[in-house]
Amino acid sequence: MVHDESGSLVPFNFIKVMERIPELSKIEVGLTVISFPKPIDSSNVSIRDWQALGYIIYENYDQYDGFVILHGTDTMAYSASALSFMLEGLAKPVIFTGAQIPIGNLRSDARENLITAIEIAADQRNGTPLIKEVCIYFNFGLFRGNRSQKMKSSTFAAFESQNYPLLAESGIDINYNEAVLAAPNGLAPLRLHQDLDDNVALLKIFPGLNEAVLESILGSKNLKGLVMETFGSGNIPNEPWFIECLKKAVENQIIILNVSQCSGGEVIHGRYETSRKLSEIGIISGGNITTESAITKLMLLLGSKKSPEIIKNLLVNPMNGEMD
């Protein structure tokens, strides 16, 4: 971002990044810059943008050792989660990064974030990339992309990964936590999955949610999947009408995935009475998956046109390190 004449923050053309961060010329890597024709605010990111990012990586995969994506922070965790599922067989680093303060400001965190992200993307051991997954690098930490969430908007430490350790920490050196890094089969060819279905919704349960509102959401035209954010370890109000609404939706072939509202939470159906009936009526437990990862995983699986039973089985099992 840069400031326009009115003082508002607007996207700037990434092609000019070398002008903004001349230190990049000191990194001993061959660097190619690709910029979208019209930069956008990350609040406007859509499935089309994920498809474009995935296509760029797929088409240039054999030419580069790694990829760094400069992205706004608001939807970065969604984009990183989406690409982690779209790029099957990924065996090279794809590092998302950005900044909390605009790149033109004196105290901007953009320089450190971008420089270190490029260093991580270029880091190899015995000619093999050290990182082989989609990540977010921010504020001296490297996070698994589909385990990350934006938690703060007023500090440099914007992202957290409550249910998975840091992959690396940057200080004087970059220290990798090698025990938790992804180790895919590098011999498998990269496959790009671009068909995502946006007929999904997100429902956050709250005290006072009434029957009419719930029915209007579950009765939405063409709705195929719902991510339901519940209390604590997966609890909902146990009012008979509430259970009946969910049961009817499941009978209408709507796939409902239960995730916790707690950033470090885990859904365990039956731990409390208020969640015991969920499995009985066909609600799927999302375990410790993040909301961002749940939404994008559901979009991708629905887009695959697989049978509902296969989709449900894939939702409860990790596809790419997004859940335990």
How do residues 117-171 score in pLDDT, each as one tens digit? 999 999 999 999 999 999 999 999 999 999 999 999 999 999 999 999 999 999 9
pLDDT given for residue 315 in this prediction: 97
Residue 137 within a domain: yes
Residue 324 within a domain: no
**Dihedrals φ, ψ of 280, to 5°?**
-65, -35
> At 272, is the pLDDT very low, low, confident or very high (cuts 50, 70, 90)?
confident
Q: Are 244 and 145 part of one and the same domain?
A: no
Across 154-193, b (16+ Cβ under 10 Å) vs e yields: eeeebbbbebbebbbebeeebebeeeebbeeeeeeeeebb
Residue 310 within a domain: yes
Q: Are 273 and 227 part of one and the same domain?
A: yes
Mean pLDDT is lowest, of 38-42, 115-119, 203-207, 283-287, for 38-42
pLDDT reading at 37 higher than 90: no
pLDDT given for residue 28 in this prediction: 84
Q: Which of 156, 171, 192 is the last residue of a domain?
A: 192
Residue 321 within a domain: no
Q: Are 6 and 42 part of one and the same domain?
A: yes
Q: Are 175 and 252 part of one and the same domain?
A: no
Percent of the chain residues topping a pLDDT of 70: 94
Please say whether the beta carbons of 68 and 33 come within 8 A.
Answer: no
Percent of the chain residues topping a pLDDT of 90: 79
Mean pLDDT on 11-15: 62
Q: Are 182 and 53 part of one and the same domain?
A: yes
pLDDT given for residue 152 in this prediction: 95
Q: Which of 192, 217, 243 is the last residue of a domain?
A: 192
Domain of 234: which CATH number? 3.40.50.40
Which is more confident, 265 or 244?
Answer: 244
Alpha-carbon span 72 to 44, nearest angstrom: 10
Domain region containing 12: 2-192
Domain of 152: which CATH number? 3.40.50.1170
Residue 8 within a domain: yes
- Express each pLDDT in 173-203 by its tens digit: 999 999 999 998 777 899 999 999 999 999 9
Q: Which of 164, 192, 220 is the last residue of a domain?
A: 192
pLDDT given for residue 17 in this prediction: 67
Q: Are 160 and 64 part of one and the same domain?
A: yes
CA 98 to chain centre: 14
pLDDT given for residue 13 in this prediction: 61
Q: Are 35 and 62 part of one and the same domain?
A: yes
**Domains of the chain: total:** 2
pLDDT given for residue 20 in this prediction: 67
Residue 322 within a domain: no
Q: Are 207 and 169 part of one and the same domain?
A: no
Residue 323 within a domain: no
pLDDT reading at 15 higher than 70: no
Alpha-carbon span 156 to 62, nearest angstrom: 34
Q: Are 169 and 218 part of one and the same domain?
A: no
Q: Are 170 and 282 part of one and the same domain?
A: no
Query: Model-level pTM?
Result: 0.93
